[in-house]
Amino acid sequence: MLGTDTRILIVGLGLIGGSYAEGLKKVGFEVGAVTRSQKTLDYALEKGIIDSGTIEVTREYVSRFDIVVFALYPHVFLSWIRDYQDFIKPGALLTDVTGVKRAVVYEVQGMLRPDLEFVGAHPMAGREVYGVENADCGIFEGANYIVTPTEANTEAAVRTCEDLGRALGFGCISRLSPEHHDEMIGFLSQLTHCIAVALMNSKESHHLVDFTGDSFRDLTRIARINDGMWSELFMLNRDELLSQMDLFAEKFGELRDALEAGDTDKMRGMMRISTERRGYFDKRK
Amino acid sequence: MLGTDTRILIVGLGLIGGSYAEGLKKVGFEVGAVTRSQKTLDYALEKGIIDSGTIEVTREYVSRFDIVVFALYPHVFLSWIRDYQDFIKPGALLTDVTGVKRAVVYEVQGMLRPDLEFVGAHPMAGREVYGVENADCGIFEGANYIVTPTEANTEAAVRTCEDLGRALGFGCISRLSPEHHDEMIGFLSQLTHCIAVALMNSKESHHLVDFTGDSFRDLTRIARINDGMWSELFMLNRDELLSQMDLFAEKFGELRDALEAGDTDKMRGMMRISTERRGYFDKRK
């Protein structure tokens, strides 16, 4: 359970880690941080985003915290657990912010000390900017926070993890299995990023800038992408994303073939389906 | 040239025709209308969107106007010219709002009386609502207005057509050949609509509504589509749109294959291109 004396350690002070730190400190928790850069640490201390921090991972520092939140690239997160889990306080709760879950949750739970518990979480918030300098806990307001419990988790730990999301001001907190999470994120986020990237790659579009309307801008906003992070997330959700890409390519091909064949009925049918389905997304907005 | 005594006839009082009428009347022109529906006509007269109007196309009414703006579905526009061009005042200027240009401009110019002149135009504004009840000349503010002159046009008529765009408050007025227009609109608008339609067709996504973030909403906003109008516009730009769809499908396939092969370098390269190109579109926003 979260209490006023709960000490929270954020490992990784990027945009999300920094925003977690800021938000949790704001509501009264003692917040510490581990980061690799002295500059980042100095900035976070100076701005009052954290209470304390270190660039050296030591047992003395890490063992002070009751909850550890990992806001790292997936492969860095997994190495950290391998290298430093011995430093963590017995009975501590671990959670994360990683955008894919199957590849991370089962891996971490499989190697964790039996007296520690890891509950996966995915705060569905982000910006097209990076780094602690852009940290802003306002990005969580109204956003989705998904917890991905497994059979290895206790109800108490899952609830604490949900409370963390509540403390950060998320608008909608829900539970999904790692499998359902990865299917959902594959469709709603990864596939759409793939589409935007492929679209921007298909034409040298500089000469079209003056004619661009809102729909193209909206559709390609996410074409500005952190290639290191996204390629890693894609690889860690490869099977699911590939199957979604294939499904999309099939439907896109059907529309293309209907156009080539002059099959207006088929085109109109697909447009009516898309209009109807898109309607769901407006109603709940 | 546009003068204070220029009489403008709008043929077709849908969203765009109605918004043209409202905007042109507001800046002082006498605005008439031809529409097929008595209800539409009554509404437009009652709201003061037009000065006069008719549901019967007569020589007496049509011949009073110096400029005729066609805001009809493309095939209805072409029939109208065939059936009623004899009624138009000698020396009048004709223009339109059609979203494809090659299939309309050359066709109309090819069958027009020699004493009439048609200058194609495309106001790049629209909403996901229809009908004169939603008419609002505010939608043109800051939007693009493209004139598509051909060798059949005089400089004077092209300028008058541009003045019309200025009078309506468009933000950027430019000239493109019908060919360049159709290439541009194929990429920036039609292809993006095809993508959104195919995406919504690829998964029954109702169960994902609660998890939807802004990027998916932005990308699929245009999946709500008027199937009658868009299928017609697609068919009239079929060659160009097919070649753009093929180009996109090729790039999407490259990204897919890179993911399957675990070729992170290739994926990252495509992401860097998309990030760089998307940057052009922000700078001028």
Q: Is A50 left (phi over 0), alpha (psi -120 to 50) or beta?
A: beta
- CATH number for the region B7-176 comes to 3.40.50.720
- Angstrom distance (rounded) from CA B78 to CA B59: 18
B203 contact residues in A (CB cutoff 8 A): 187, 244, 247
Same fold, B7-176 and B181-283: no
Distance from CA of B258 to the nearest CA of A (A): 10
Residue B285 has pLDDT above 50, yes or no: no
Residue B120 has pLDDT above 60, yes or no: yes
Q: How far is CA B83 from CA B59, B86, B98, in A?
A: 12, 8, 19
Give the one of A143, A194, A248 whose C-beta lies nearest to B202's C-beta. Answer: A248
Distance from CA of A30 to the nearest CA of B (A): 30
- Angstrom distance (rounded) from CA B52 to CA B80: 20
Tokens found for residue B207: 């169960």
Contact between chains at A272 and B227 (C-beta distance less than 8 A): yes
* pLDDT band per the 50, 70, 90 thresholds, residue A140: very high
Output the pLDDT for position A285: 41
pLDDT in tens, A259-279: 999 999 999 999 999 999 988
- ipTM (interface pTM): 0.91
Length of chain B: 285
Residue B284 has pLDDT above 80, yes or no: no
Tokens found for residue A67: 């909850």
- Angstrom distance (rounded) from CA B49 to CA B9: 12
Contact between chains at B198 and A241 (C-beta distance less than 8 A): no
Query: What share of chain A in percent tops pLDDT 90?
Result: 84
Output the pLDDT for position B220: 83
Contact between chains at A227 and B272 (C-beta distance less than 8 A): yes
Output the pLDDT for position B204: 78
A73 contact residues in B (CB cutoff 8 A): none
pTM: 0.90
* pLDDT band per the 50, 70, 90 thresholds, residue A211: confident
pLDDT in tens, B153-187: 999 999 999 999 999 999 999 999 999 999 999 99
Q: Hey, where are the domains in chain A?
A: 7-176, 181-283
- Angstrom distance (rounded) from CA B180 to CA B178: 6
Nearest CA in chain A to B239: A260
* pLDDT band per the 50, 70, 90 thresholds, residue B207: confident
Give the one of A196, A216, A251 whose C-beta lies nearest to B274's C-beta. Answer: A196
As its CATH architecture, domain A181-283 has: Orthogonal Bundle (1.10)
- Best of B73, B181, B273, B281 to substitute, by most chain A Cβ atoms within 10 angstroms, is B281
Q: Which residues touch B45 (CB under 8 Å, ≥6 apart)?
A: B52, B53
- Angstrom distance (rounded) from CA A35 to CA A53: 8
A224 contact residues in B (CB cutoff 8 A): 274-275, 278-279, 282
- Best of B128, B259, B260, B276 to substitute, by most chain A Cβ atoms within 10 angstroms, is B259
Rounded mean pLDDT, B49-67: 98
Q: What is the mean pLDDT of chain B?
A: 94
Contact between chains at A281 and B219 (C-beta distance less than 8 A): no
Q: Which residues touch B148 (CB under 8 Å, ≥6 apart)?
A: B101, B105, B119, B120, B121, B122, B175, B176, B177, B178, B181
Residue B58 has pLDDT above 90, yes or no: yes
- Best of B237, B239, B252 to substitute, by most chain A Cβ atoms within 10 angstroms, is B252
B184 contact residues in A (CB cutoff 8 A): 208, 211
A252 contact residues in B (CB cutoff 8 A): 194-195, 198, 245, 248-249, 252
Output the pLDDT for position B283: 53
Rounded mean pLDDT, A134-163: 96
Rounded mean pLDDT, B32-58: 97
Rounded mean pLDDT, B138-160: 96
Contact between chains at B262 and A124 (C-beta distance less than 8 A): no
Would you say the C-alpha torsion B258, B262, B263, B268 has a positive or negative sign?
positive
The closest of A260, A211, A252, A219 to B194, measured between CA atoms, is: A252
Q: Which residues touch A73 (CB under 8 Å, ≥6 apart)?
A: A228, A229, A232
Tokens found for residue A214: 């809102």
Give the one of B231, B256, B280 whose C-beta lies nearest to A271's C-beta. Answer: B231
A201 contact residues in B (CB cutoff 8 A): 251, 254-255, 270, 273-274, 277
Strands B117-124 and B144-148: antiparallel
Whether the Cβ atoms of residue A200 and residue B277 lie closer than 8 Å to each other: yes
Contact between chains at A211 and B275 (C-beta distance less than 8 A): no
Tokens found for residue A158: 């899952």
Give the one of B254, B262, B268 whose C-beta lies nearest to A227's C-beta. Answer: B268
Output the pLDDT for position B280: 82
DSSP state, A170?
Answer: B
* pLDDT band per the 50, 70, 90 thresholds, residue A283: low
Output the pLDDT for position A21: 98
Distance from CA of B193 to the nearest CA of A (A): 9
